[in-house]
Amino acid sequence: MLFNIYVKELKDCFRDRRTLLLSVVLPIVLMTGFVFLFEQLGSHGKDEVYTVAVTQSFDEADRAIFANYKNLEFIEVNDPKSAVLDGLAIIGLEFSRSFKDVEKSNDAIKITIIGDALSQNSAIVMSNIENALSDYERTIISERLQQHKVDISTIEPFSIVYEETIDGDFSLAMLAYLIPLILAVSVGIGAGPAAADLFAGEKERKTMEALLMTPIKRSTLLLAKWLAVATIATLTGLVTLIVIVMEIFLFTTDLKAAISLGKEPYIVVVIAILVVIVYALVCASILMLTSILAKTIKEAQTYSAPILMLILVPAFYVMGLGVNELTFFDFVIPIVNLFAIFKELLLGITQYNHIAMTLISNLALTLIIFIICRILFMKDRWVMNS
């Protein structure tokens, strides 16, 4: 009986075009868009040639400073700032005099870099120019010190070496952390219409009363409906996850390099699937609760939308932490731990005690919400509109 009701509920949901659209089509479109956006952001500037506006006094000696930066193309204009404002160049560069006779004069050359710090392209070019000038500055200082028989190490008492605790490109890895966030939102959006329809919708259309007048136990009805919502939530999560994994590994280079799945990638994928299923169960329970509390589909959506938005809070909290900063509590608190565990998984870390804590705490939360739903569902007030 439970299975038959479950199958009927699923059939009913999938005949609703909104469910199909939001649980299957939307994750595919959304994730495809994000994967290619991330890939483009990650590889940004690698093959791009940027135009730098310089004054007409910009000569070969000046140009030689940037010889190693093949992605910089210089155009000579009267007013570099106007050229930047008119969109002719990304950056404007002005020297108070040429570097041609820099060795002969100790007068400092004033360099003006004109750009828009809010533009990613502008920031990349500014960084390139600053690096080129720093290198050249160091060369000049070294030469001048040698003339005075002073070793460069005299003015450089130490050197700094940066060593990352994570493998790969850090900025790309940060982008990769957005994946669980999108996954979480997708699951909520995918299962939302089904949850609203199966409880609030049935109350609104009065089909719930017809069901309640049959000899079926309310708890059986509730379980079948929850299973249907959980199935759709899981399906959305898995479709999203599969789309992410396939597209990253088949169609991207930089993003693939940024995500380290460690030595046991298949185990990481299996754990990721488990985590997605558990999140889907939590999500299905929350959505079921909001739908039971509501009298209409619209009301259910009004309740569920801000709750699903709240999920962004733990996601951003975890995103701001390093993997070494995650504490015991981050793996105990439901939902927070889902993002924490994903952070570890994306770095190829599989801590089984963390995984167990995450799964158990979220399953416990699911059970608690389900019990609350059952208590409400047994009361006529919450199960019938009249």
Partner 1 sequence: MKHVSFEVKQGEVLGLLGENGAGKTTLLRTIATLLEPTAGQVQVGGFNTVKESAEIQKKIGVLFGSETGLYDRFTARENLEYFAMLYGLGKHETKVRIDELSKMFGMRDYLSRKVGDFSKGMRQKVAIARTVIHNPQIIIFDEPTTGLDITSSNVFRQLIHQLKREGKTIIFSSHIVEEVSMLCDAVAMIHQGELVYHGTLEQLYEQEGSRDLNYIFMSKLVRGGDDYAV
* Residue of the chain from 24, 111, 145, 211 that contacts partner 1 (CB under 8 A): 211
d(CA 238, CA 94): 54
The phi and psi torsions of 275 (rounded to 5 degrees) equal: -65, -40
Binding mask of the shown chain, residues 99 to 118, with x at each position contacting partner 1 by CB under 8 A: --------------------
Q: Which is nearer to partner 1, 150 or 384 (CB)?
A: 384
Among positions 112, 120, 131, 207, the unique one binding partner 1 when judged by CB under 8 A:
207
Structure tokens of 11?
């059939």
Q: Is 379 in the site for partner 1 (CB under 8 A)?
A: no
Q: Please identify, among the stretches 47-55, 102-110, 111-119, 214-222, the one whose residues bind partner 1 according to the rule CB under 8 A.
A: 214-222
Q: How far is the CB of 217 from partner 1 (least distance, A)?
A: 8
Task: Tell me: does residue 206 bind partner 1 (CB under 8 A).
Answer: yes
Minimum Å gap between C-beta 25 and partner 1 is 18
Q: Which of 64, 140, 141, 210 binds partner 1 (CB under 8 A)?
A: 210
User: Is 70 an interacting residue with respect to partner 1 (CB under 8 A)?
Assistant: no
Among 94, 116, 209, 299, binds partner 1 (CB under 8 A): 209
Q: What's the closest the beta carbon of residue 231 comes to partner 1, in angstroms?
A: 17
Choices 113-121, 161-169, 201-209, 359-367; region in contact with partner 1 by CB under 8 A:
201-209
> Parallel, antiparallel, or unpaired: how do β-strands 50-55 and 91-95 relate?
parallel
Please say which residue, 263 or 381, places its beta carbon nearer to partner 1.
381
Q: Which stretch binds partner 1 (CB under 8 A): 213-221, 232-240, 346-354, 357-365?
A: 213-221
Q: Is 16 in the site for partner 1 (CB under 8 A)?
A: yes
**Nearer residue to partner 1 within complex by CB, 100 or 206:** 206
Check residue 212 for interaction with partner 1 (CB under 8 A).
yes
From the CB of 220, what's the least distance to partner 1, in Å? 10
By the rule CB under 8 A, 18 interacts with partner 1: no
CA-to-CA distance for 245 and 169, rounded, in angstroms?
A: 18
The reply on whether position 215 binds partner 1 by CB under 8 A is yes
Site for partner 1 in 314-373 (CB under 8 A): none
Contact status: 378 vs partner 1 (CB under 8 A): no
By CB under 8 A, name the binding residues for partner 1: 1, 4-5, 8, 11-12, 15-16, 205-207, 209-217, 380, 384, 386
